Amino acid sequence: MAHSRAEERAMSRALELALRGPRSRNPQVGALILSPDGEILAEGWHRGAGTAHAEVDALSHLPEGGAAGATAIVTLEPCNHTGRTGPCAEALIRAGVARVVYALDDPGEVSGGGGRRLRAAGVDVESGVLADEALALIGPWLTATRLGRPHVTVKWAQSLDGRAAAADGTSQWITGPASRADVHARRAQADAIVVGTGTVLADDPALTARDGGTLHPEQPVPVVIGARETPAGAAVRAHPHEPLFYDTHDLAFVLADLWDHGLHRVFVEGGPTLASAFMAAGYADRILAYVAPVILGGPRVALTDIGAPSIDRALRLRVTDRIALGDDTLYVAEPASSGSAPEEGDR
Crossing angle of helices 5-18 and 131-147, rounded to 10° = 50
Q: What angle do CA 191, 193, 198 make, to 5 degrees?
A: 160
How far is Cα 153 from Cα 279, in angstroms, rounded to an integer?
10
- The b-or-e profile of 45-70 (16+ CB within 10 A means b, else e) is bbbeeebbbbbbbbbeeeeeeebeeb
Enumerate residues 6+ apart whose C-beta is below 8 A from 346. 25, 26, 49, 83, 84
Catalytic residue among 43, 55, 90, 269: 55
Length of the chain: 347
How far is Cα 16 from Cα 54, in angstroms, rounded to an integer?
12
Burial (CB count <10 Å: 0-12, 13-18, 19+), residue 19? exposed
**DSSP states along 91-115:** HHHHTT--EEEEEE----TTT--HH
How far is Cα 324 from Cα 331, in angstroms, rounded to an integer?
9
Q: Is 343 designated active site?
A: no
Q: Which are the catalytic amino acids? A: 55
